[in-house]
Amino acid sequence: MYLKNTVPTPALHTLAPGSELAIQAENVSMHYPGSQKGALLPALAGISLAIAAGEFISLVGPSGCGKTTLLRLLADLLQPAAGTILLNGRPARQARLNREYGFVPQSPALQGWRTVLENVALPLELMKVSRAVREERAGELLGLVGLAGVRQSYPAQLSGGMQQRAVIARAIALKPSILLMDEPFGALDEITREHLNGELLNIWRETRTTIVFVTHSISEAVFLSNRVVVMSPRPGRISGLIQVDLPQPRRNETREMPRYFELIREVRETLRASA
Ligand SMILES: Nc1ncnc2c1ncn2[C@@H]1O[C@H](COP(=O)(O)OP(=O)(O)OP(=O)(O)O)[C@@H](O)[C@H]1O
Ligand SMILES: [Mg+2]
């Protein structure tokens, strides 16, 4: 039996009772092997988080607090030492086998010997989709991320921002209901990053995907998210949850609103208080 896929009452954190849940983590902990033989390095402790379907959630916290570890646990690329993780009401392993999520890793790699189109079509190829159908679908995805003009280029011919867009197109190729993104825009300049933030929000709205987004940028987290999860280190835990009550859809003018700056201050103070 799987747990019921709705928020219990009282709701975990700030979700409305009855919301359909995309992700449930209950009391999750995780450790890595330490440098001494037999020693364990605690990476996460007591992580409980409920994310409603269609939410955009950001994870922020200092380097080493366990953001990547948490994302990899949700993706079933790591196993928790304790606790349960459900995606769409199913164990993370089942969700991985069903390809219910797309994953954008912290250091994304496109395959250098494949064209951009062939890279984006790769998940479809693995699913044995015919060449004509996958090329059509990959072409549509490249249009969605503004890369229609470079479909026959190779990754090395693209800028960092363009490569990142191709990785996002590949991650959504199988129309996952959940998108897990680990600092996807971390290496980009501010203007490119703001532009891609807008494109990502368009994709989010069009596809109604649930997004879990790791970032070091407090302003990026506030701009994009419904809620910001603040994590603290040693071991990694959730030290704050900030509801972002800025109007939707977010636009460039959102970045000028007094409430935007207040929320940035709130996230920063929560981070400081828990460091
Ligand atoms: N494969 C590993 N083996 C041992 N320890 C690890 C491993 N991966 C991560 N760690 C440790 O677990 C902790 C959390 O690492 P994690 O990569 O999840 O942090 P992070 O919040 O993503 O950091 P960053 O913001 O720098 O990407 C760190 O102390 C790190 O050293
Ligand atoms: Mg990381």
Structure tokens at 224: 């994009």
CA of 55 to the centre of ligand 1 (A): 25
Atom of ligand 1 nearest to the CA of 65: 21
Strand, helix or coil for residue 157? helix
Which ligand lies nearest to the CA atom of residue 70 in the structure?
Answer: 1
Residue nearest to atom 17 of ligand 1 (CA): 68
Q: Would you tell me how many other CB atoms lie within 10 Å of the CB of residue 36?
A: 8
- Cα(102)–Cα(3) distance, integer angstroms: 23
CA of 17 to the centre of ligand 2 (A): 32
Model pLDDT for residues 21-60, shown as the tens digit of each residue: 999 999 999 999 888 888 889 999 999 999 999 999 999 9
Structure tokens at 215: 């970032």
CA of 107 to the centre of ligand 2 (A): 9
- Cα(6)–Cα(270) distance, integer angstroms: 28
- Cα(26)–Cα(84) distance, integer angstroms: 5
Which ligand lies nearest to the CA atom of residue 233 in the structure?
Answer: 1
Length of the chain, in residues: 275
Q: Which residues surround ligand 2, an ion (CB under 5 A)?
A: 68, 106
Q: What percent of the chain has pLDDT over 90?
A: 74
Residue nearest to atom 26 of ligand 1 (CA): 63
Q: What is the pLDDT of residue 220?
A: 96
User: Residue 263: which H helix or E strand, with range?
Assistant: helix 258-274
CA of 134 to the centre of ligand 2 (A): 32
Q: What is the pLDDT of residue 145?
A: 87
- Spans of all domains in the chain: 111-175
Model pLDDT for residues 100-147, shown as the tens digit of each residue: 999 998 876 899 999 999 999 999 999 999 999 999 999 999 998 889
Atom of ligand 1 nearest to the CA of 34: 4
Which residue has tokens 């039996």? 1
Model pLDDT for residues 198-215, shown as the tens digit of each residue: 989 998 998 899 999 999
Residue 8 has pLDDT above 60, yes or no: no
CA 240 vs CA 82, 246, 267: distances in Å: 21, 18, 8
Which ligand lies nearest to the CA atom of residue 63 in the structure?
Answer: 1
Contacts of 164 (CB under 8 A, 6+ apart): 108, 184, 185, 187, 188, 196
Global confidence as pTM:
0.91
Model pLDDT for residues 220-234, shown as the tens digit of each residue: 999 999 999 999 998
Q: What percent of the chain has pLDDT over 70?
A: 93
Residue 241 near residue 229 (C-beta atoms within 8 A) = yes
Q: What is the 3-state secondary structure (H, E, C) of 174-215?
A: CCCCEEEEECCCCCCCHHHHHHHHHHHHHHHHHHCCEEEEEC
User: Ligand 1 pocket: which residues have CB below 6 Å?
Assistant: 32, 41, 43, 61, 63-69, 106
- Cα(243)–Cα(264) distance, integer angstroms: 11
- Cα(159)–Cα(191) distance, integer angstroms: 14
Find, among 219, 110, 83, 102, the residue nearest to 164 by Cα.
110
User: Residue 110: which H helix or E strand, with range?
Assistant: none
Q: What is the pLDDT of residue 275?
A: 76
Residue 203 near residue 209 (C-beta atoms within 8 A) = yes
Which ligand lies nearest to the CA atom of residue 105 in the structure?
Answer: 2
Residue nearest to atom 31 of ligand 1 (CA): 64
Atom of ligand 1 nearest to the CA of 72: 18
